[in-house]
Amino acid sequence: KSNQKVIQKHSLISPTSKGDKILLHFINQSGVKITTSVTEGASLLEVVINKNLDISGFGACEGTLACSTCHLIFDENVYKNLEPIADEELDMLDLAYGLTKTSRLGCQVCVQKWMDGMTVRVPRDVKDLRNVKESAENQ
Amino acid sequence: MNMRSLRAVKPLERFLSARCVGTRAHGVRKLSSTSGSYPLVCIVGGGPAGFYTAQHLLKSHPDIHVDIYERLPIPFGLVRFGVAPDHPEVKNVINTFTQTAQHKHCCFFGNVNIGRDVSVKELQEAYHAVVLSYGAEANRRLGIPGEDLLGVYSAKDFVGWYNGVPCNKDLQPDLSSDTAVILGQGNVALDVARMLLSPLDILKKTDVTQPSLEALAASHVHKVLIVGRRGPLQMACTIKELREMVNLPGTKPDMVTAEFEGIAEALKELPRPRKRLTELLLKAAQGSAGSAQATRQWGFRFLRSPVEIRPSSDVTRTAGIRLAVNRLEGSGENAQAVPTGEVEDLQCGLVINSIGYRSLPIDATVPFDPHKAVIPNTVGRVEQVAGLYCSGWVKRGPTGVIATTMNDSFDTARALLQDIEAGLLKLSTKKLGSKAIVTLLEKRGVNSVSFLEWEKINAEEVKRGGRAGKPREKLLDVEEMIKIAKT
């Protein structure tokens, strides 16, 4: 599974590594902007969890591509520079509420230096709608 | 990085959080949960809805106390009993629920049957607010002749059987025939198909129960047909589950090409999720998946509704199913199935009804809509009953995944918190909370199980599973669970 590759990569990164600090802004489901400073390498899900950011119900499956609650919306210029999306991520992302053309799952996007200063958003009223009928009703 | 390690609760914290009022059964007699000033809420049902509602309440209000009552001695509901054994990642939410249960203002009471041991009215007298999150314990019936023949099971019972629901342990499903027909094409139907056809090498490393594993090892089922009323474009399952079928080792798809006429042409109009799902389905239908040597087959059959399950000549078991052939009126998600008058017979010895779960009324005093089988409510506030709320399947109907229920539960919690803020819950009224309920339980001879005691059951299951190379070996007997809890 591709997410296992991601997780293994992180175990090589020491938590006390002296990487450059990268500034990230998260806008939560209530529209509140949360700013945090991180080092390179962690996934955005790990950032939200480790920093205990106030985003409700984020990462229910703990980064194993079994839900879409870490759905994040990126700016276009960031989105197009992200690593390509695998089928497995797309399978879960397709079920996320409020899907946009610049959406990704936070557990599959790792912080890199060039992301310094970027803003990511959580959709208002995050939902993970795997029932097709429900998705249709909401569309 | 192991996400779970980020949330490990230190032993000392856990001890300090066991501040539940109680009898010796709870081990720790600390603060009473009677109130003068803080809201006392109880939740009926210890599954995802109950836990997510509790979680949101506890996070949002510094003084709120939440008690969770669960009928079984053990928590987690469908996360434990519904999610398929080969989907362990989906069960990771148990970690966040465990944290909630260990919160100093949260108390879990297992083995308490609300509606039988204690009434909802008694809960309302003891708490400022009551949230009903007890889910859907029944199933929709087919309503056709032969439904009660040997060899016909609801998906609820079949899933309950392989997942260790105590009341399903004696199901003994008849797996002696070659062909199984599953009615319904949602994710539960695909879970059942996968469990029937998965190689044992995969299943034996999961938390599927040992008796079920042995029964599946002896199963003769080699072909599984998953039947839906409507067409390929209305199929209710999602792509992850379909992909798992397509990639299932030792199997190959068996579909009817004619049922896919016109589907490829419709692709370009479809929204991306439905388009990708349909593309994968077409690929499977064209026979370019699975290996030619595979001995096990699975396939969808569309535009078919069950009209009768046919018995064997000695009338003791299922021998086949008669299906009405449909056509579609309209298109897209709202297309309707209309019978053509034609019928088709399929031979099979196993029929699984996977057309939906169904909630039941808990108590004569709680409003219930028997047609929709939900509690009438507005954003989780039960209609016409102040201080009563609902979340999860009993509120919305039995569809969606854990995360759908999560958001739904947050909505109910928000409504309850709004009502607290608006002064609608009469917090000045002194309530006795669990103190009152525990007194009633003791009088009535009910032995509740605490969260710490569940952890003893949990440890025993993990230990037994470890011996067999499984994540856990589930206990199947309520009496045994209680015995281990109380040692």
Residues A57-61 have a mean pLDDT of 93
Chain B residues within an 8 Å CB radius of A91? 238-240, 243, 276
Give residue B8's pLDDT band: very low, low, confident or very high (50, 70, 90). very low
Q: How many Cβ atoms sit within 10 Å of the Cβ of residue B464?
A: 15
Structural tokens at position B443: 């009088």
**Inter-chain residue contact A132 with B333, CB threshold 8 Å:** yes
A78: Cβ contacts below 8 Å, ≥ 6 apart = A102, A115, A118, A120
Comparing alpha-carbon positions, the chain A residue that sits nearest to B275 is A94
A65: region left, alpha or beta (phi > 0 left; psi from -120 to 50 alpha) = left
The pLDDT of residue B7 is: 40
Nearest CB to B3; choose among A62, A94, A134: A62
Comparing alpha-carbon positions, the chain B residue that sits nearest to A132 is B236
Give residue B135's pLDDT band: very low, low, confident or very high (50, 70, 90). very high
Q: How many Cβ atoms sit within 10 Å of the Cβ of residue B364?
A: 10
Question: Mutate which of A88, A132, A134 to disrupt the B interface (most B C-beta within 10 Å)?
Answer: A132
* pLDDT at residue A106 tops 50: yes
Three-state DSSP class for residue B314: coil
Using an 8 Å Cβ cutoff, are B281 and B288 in contact?
no
Cα distance between residue B200 and residue A124, in whole Å:
43
Cα distance between residue B199 and residue B248, in whole Å:
8
Residue B113 distance to chain A (closest CA, Å): 28
What are the phi and psi torsion angles at B338 (to 5°)? Answer: -125, 130
Residue B321 distance to chain A (closest CA, Å): 27
Cα distance between residue A70 and residue B374, in whole Å:
30
What are the beta bridge partners of residue B227? B183, B301
Comparing alpha-carbon positions, the chain B residue that sits nearest to A100 is B272
Q: Which residue reads 């936070």 in tokens?
A: A106
Surface of A (64-83) touching B: CB under 8 A: 64-69
Using DSSP bridges, classify how beta strands B336-347 and B318-329 pair: parallel, antiparallel or unpaired.
Answer: antiparallel
**Inter-chain residue contact A128 with B401, CB threshold 8 Å:** yes
DSSP string, A50-100: HTT-S-TTTTTTSSSSS--TTEEE--HHHHTTSPPPPHHHHHHHTTBTT--
The pLDDT of residue A132 is: 36
**pTM for the full predicted model:** 0.89
The pLDDT of residue B270 is: 94
Residue-wise pLDDT tens digits, B353-405: 999 999 999 999 999 999 999 999 999 999 999 999 999 999 999 998 888 89
Residue-wise pLDDT tens digits, B34-74: 545 799 999 999 999 999 999 999 999 999 999 999 999 99
Distance in Å from the first CA to the final CA of chain B: 36
Residues A63-76 have a mean pLDDT of 96
The pLDDT of residue A124 is: 76
Nearest CB to B273; choose among A61, A69, A94: A94
Using an 8 Å Cβ cutoff, are B441 and B117 in contact?
yes
Cα distance between residue B61 and residue B43, in whole Å:
16
Residue A11 distance to chain B (closest CA, Å): 5
Nearest CB to B400; choose among A59, A88, A130: A130
Structural tokens at position A51: 């920093």
Chain B residues within an 8 Å CB radius of A67? 90, 401-403
Comparing alpha-carbon positions, the chain B residue that sits nearest to A71 is B403
Chain A residues within an 8 Å CB radius of B6? 49-50
Length, in residues, of chain A:
139
Exposed, middle or buried, A135 (CB in 10 Å: 0-12/13-18/19+)? buried
Three-state DSSP class for residue B384: coil
The pLDDT of residue B436 is: 98
Question: Mean pLDDT of all residues in chain B?
Answer: 92
Give residue B33's pLDDT band: very low, low, confident or very high (50, 70, 90). very low
Q: How many Cβ atoms sit within 10 Å of the Cβ of residue A111?
A: 20
The ipTM of this complex is 0.84
The pLDDT of residue A20 is: 60
- B21-25, B405-409, B417-421: which range is least confident on average? B21-25
* pLDDT at residue A72 tops 90: yes
Residue-wise pLDDT tens digits, B344-359: 999 999 999 999 999 9
- B315-329 core/surface letters (b: 16 or more CB in 10 A; e: else): eebbbbbbbbebebe
Comparing alpha-carbon positions, the chain B residue that sits nearest to A5 is B1
Residue type, A136: A
Give residue A27's pLDDT band: very low, low, confident or very high (50, 70, 90). very high
CB–CB contacts below 8 A, A to B: 103
DSSP string, B433-468: THHHHHHHHHHTT---B-HHHHHHHHHHHHHHHHHT
**Inter-chain residue contact A129 with B404, CB threshold 8 Å:** yes
Using CA atoms, how far residue A73 sits from A22, B238, B260, in Å, is 18, 22, 36
Chain A residues within an 8 Å CB radius of B238? 91, 95, 130, 132
A14 touches chain B (CB under 8 A): no
The pLDDT of residue A19 is: 61
Residue-wise pLDDT tens digits, B147-202: 999 999 999 999 999 999 999 999 999 999 999 999 999 999 999 999 999 999 99
Give residue A18's pLDDT band: very low, low, confident or very high (50, 70, 90). low
- B18-32, B247-261, B399-413, B441-455: which range is least confident on average? B18-32
Directed axis angle between helix B155-162 and helix B210-217, to 10°?
Answer: 110
**Inter-chain residue contact A131 with B404, CB threshold 8 Å:** yes
Comparing alpha-carbon positions, the chain B residue that sits nearest to A63 is B3
Residues A37-53 have a mean pLDDT of 95
Using an 8 Å Cβ cutoff, are B181 and B319 in contact?
no
Q: How many Cβ atoms sit within 10 Å of the Cβ of residue B283?
A: 13
Residue type, B358: R
DSSP string, A20-54: PPEEEEEE-TTS-EEEEEE-TT-BHHHHHHHTT-S
Nearest CB to A128; choose among B95, B273, B403: B403
Chain A residues within an 8 Å CB radius of B333? 132-133, 136
Chain B residues within an 8 Å CB radius of A46? 1, 3
Give residue B315's pLDDT band: very low, low, confident or very high (50, 70, 90). confident
Cα distance between residue B146 and residue B307, in whole Å:
9
Task: Give me the half-sphere count of Cα atoms (radius 13 Å) on the Cβ side of residue B413.
Answer: 24
Residue type, A126: V
The pLDDT of residue B382 is: 98
Q: Which residue reads 């097709």 in tokens?
A: A132
Cα distance between residue B228 and residue A50, in whole Å:
45
- The distance of Cα B168 from the centroid of its chain, to the nearest Å, equals 14
Helices (H), B181-286: 187-197, 200-203, 210-217, 239-246, 263-266, 272-285
DSSP B63: S
Residue B69 distance to chain A (closest CA, Å): 22
Q: Which of A117, A120, A121 is nearest to A38 (CA)?
A: A117
Residue-wise pLDDT tens digits, B297-314: 999 999 999 999 999 998
Chain A residues within an 8 Å CB radius of B334? 136
Using an 8 Å Cβ cutoff, are B355 and B339 in contact?
no
**Inter-chain residue contact B1 with A136, CB threshold 8 Å:** no
Comparing alpha-carbon positions, the chain B residue that sits nearest to A51 is B6
Residue-wise pLDDT tens digits, B427-445: 999 999 999 999 999 999 9
